[in-house]
Structure 1
Amino acid sequence: MKIGFIGLGHMGSAMAANLVKAGHHVTVFNRSPEKRRKLVELGAHEAARIADACRGEAVITMLADDAALSSVALADGGIIGSLPRGAIHVSMSTISVALARELTKAHAGAGQRFIAAPVFGRPEAAAAAKLFIVAAGEPAAVETCLPLFNALGQKTLPISPEPAAANLVKLSGNFLLASAIEALGEAIALVSKAGVDRRAYVELLTSTIFPAPVYATYGGLIAANRFEPAAFTAALGFKDIRLALAAAESLRVPMPLGSLLHDRFLRLLAEGGESLDWSALGGLAGRDAGDARAPG
C-alpha cells in the first residue's frame, strides 16, 4: 500500500521501519528531520510537510498526546485538509475518547475514513512486529488496513465500528497495567524490607501464580530499580490515567483506584520523575517504607 507515517518516536520509528521492510510504499514525516532521514536510509520516502505524507491510500499517526495529534490532523495544512476523499487516517496513538470522536466527525465531513488502532506493547515489541493492535472503525476500512497491521503486530483485534471504543479499551488496559505496577511495587517493598531478595521474589511470582509478561517485565524493573532509559515515560503514564479518569467521569463510572494512581503519578512527577520509565511508579512504595534498597 502507498501510505504516510507521521510520528517517529521510539514506537513510531520501529513501526515505520517494519512497514518499509514489508514492502509498503511509506512516506514519513516528523518534526525532527534527523528521525526522517534514518527511515529514508531504509527505503522510506521523506515528506517535508504533513501534506506530503497524505498522498496515498492511508496515513498512520503515532503521536504522544491529544495536543500533538490535533496539531497534525486538525490544523491548516494538516491531515484532514490534505488526505484524499475515501482515504483512511489510522490513529495508533493513545488519545482521549473525546478527541477520537472529534476526529471521526471531522474525517466524515471531509469524505475520509477514520480508524482508531492503538497498540499494546513496548518499543521492543514494536521493533519485533509483536504488537497487539486494537482496531475500531468502519469494518471495510479496518479490512483494508489489515496488511498494514499484519506488518506491525502479532494480532489485530477488531473491537467496534465506533473508533472511540478502541481508545477507551486502550486507556482501560493502561489503567490495569499501572495498577499492576503499583501493586507490584507495594508487594516488593513489603518483602524487601523484611529481608527477602527482591529479584528472587519476582522470579517466584512469575513462575507460579503470576506467569504473565506484565509481572515479569515490570516486576524485574522494580526489583532492579532500573527506570532509565524509559521505554514509556511516567509523564505519558500520568497522561493516560488522566484520560481514563476523564472517560470514567463522562460515563459516571467511579474509579477509586484510578484516582489513587493519579495521585501516585503526580507525586512521582513532582519529585522529578517525569522522564523515568513509568515503572518508577512501583519504586515509590519502597521509599515510603524507608527501605534502603529502594531508589532515592
Structure 2
Amino acid sequence: MEIGVIGLGAMGQAMAKNLAAAGHTVKAWSRSGGEVAGVNVVDTPEQALQADIALTMLSDDSAIREVLLDTGVLSRAKPGLVHVVASTISVSFSRELVACHREAGIDYLAAPVLGRPDVAAKGELNILAAGASATLEKLSPILEVIGKRIWNLGEEQPTAHAAKIACNMMITMAIEAMAEAVVLTEENGLARERFFDLILNTLFGSRSYQVYSANIIQDRYEPGFKASLGWKDLRLADAAAEQLGRDLPMLRAVLEQMAKAVSAGGGDKDWSVMADYTIRSIDR
C-alpha cells in the first residue's frame, strides 16, 4: 500500500521506517527535509497526500493548520485518501478537522499515540483511535505495524484527542508527585533510589513511574519528550477544561510548574525536568 507521512520528527521518522520495513511504499514530507532509510522523501505535503493513506505527525494545531489547511492542500488530496492524524492536538481543532475533512470528502481517523521515540522505533505504540468503524477496520493492519495495541475509542474523532491530552496530563501529575515525594523523603535521610525501589514494588509500578523515576534517580533529563511540548499539551488540557466550564486544580498546578521549568531553560530537555525544578526549587 502507498502511504504518505507528513512530519518527520523523531516519532514520524520511526513510524515511516517501520511502515517501509513492513513492505509499504512510503513517501514522506518534512519542513526540515532530510533522509529516512527506505522512505522516499518528497518535496511538498501535497505529494504525500497523493497516496492511499496519509499519516500526519506534526507538532501542534498551528503546524497542521499552516501545512494542510491554509494552503488548501487537504482539499487537493487523492480521492479516496484516508487521513490519519496522529499528532496531539486540541479538542476544538479536532472538531474543526472533522468539518474540513467532510468538506474535502476525505476520511479522517484520529489516532494520537502513547509512547516515546524509543517505543515508536520498536513499533510498540498504543494507538488511541476514533473514527468511522469501517475506516478503522480498513486501517487496522497498517496501524498494527506501528503499534502494539489499537484502542477503539468510538466514532467521534475529538474523543481520541481528548483522551490523549488527559493521558499526558496524568503523566505530568505522576512526575510532579514523584518530585514532591523526593523532597519529603530525601530531606529526611532516604536516598531517592531506595524510595523508588519501595514505590515501584508496592504502590506504583506503571511504565510512567518506571521511566521517570529512573530520570529522577540519575538526575538526567536528556530529551525524550521535550518539556516545551509537554507544556503545550498541558495548555491544551487547560483549554479543554475551560471550554467545559470546569476548574481542574491539579492540572493548573502542574501547568504552572511545567511553565516554570521551561522558563528556567528546560524547554529542550525531557519533560521530567519539571521534577528537577521542583526538587531544587527550595534553593531558588
- Fold shared, TM-score > 0.5 on shorter chain: yes
Deviations 1:226-279 (A, max 9, x none): 112x11111111111110011111112221111111111111122111111100
**Correspondence for 1:264:** 257
User: Does residue 272 of structure 2 align to residue 279 of structure 1?
Assistant: yes
Q: How does 1:35-114 map to 2 (within 5 A)?
A: 37=35, 39=36, 42-78=37-73, 80-114=74-108
Indicate the percent of aligned positions where both proteins have the same amino acid. 37
Give 5+ residue unaligned stretches, structure 2. Answer: none
Q: Secondary structure at the match of 1:261?
A: helix
Q: How does 1:6-45 map to 2 (within 5 A)?
A: 6-34=6-34, 37=35, 39=36, 42-45=37-40
Q: Which ranges of 4 or more aligned residues in structure 1 deviate by more than 2 Å?
A: none
TM-score normalised by length of structure 2: 0.97
**Contact between 1:189 and 1:289, CA under 8 Å: does it hold in 2?**
no
State the alpha-carbon separation in 2 of the partners of residues 46 and 267 from structure 1: 38
Paired letter, 1:13:
Q
CA RMSD, Structure 1 to Structure 2 (Å):
1.3
Question: Cα distance, 1:46 vs. partner?
Answer: 2.2
**Contact between 2:18 and 2:146, CA under 8 Å: does it hold in 1?**
yes
Paired letter, 1:55:
Q
Q: Secondary structure at the match of 1:209?
A: coil
Q: Secondary structure at the match of 2:8?
A: coil
Change in CA separation of 1:128 and 1:251 when aligned onto 2, cut-off 3 Å? same
Q: Secondary structure at the match of 1:221?
A: helix
Change in CA separation of 1:285 and 1:43 when aligned onto 2, cut-off 3 Å? closer
TM-score normalised by length of structure 1: 0.93
Question: Cα distance, 1:77 vs. partner?
Answer: 4.9
Q: How does 1:170-181 map to 2 (within 5 A)?
A: 170-181=164-175
Question: Cα distance, 1:169 vs. partner?
Answer: 0.3
Q: Secondary structure at the match of 1:8?
A: coil
Give 5+ residue unaligned stretches, structure 1. Answer: 291-295
User: Does residue 224 of structure 2 align to residue 235 of structure 1?
Assistant: no
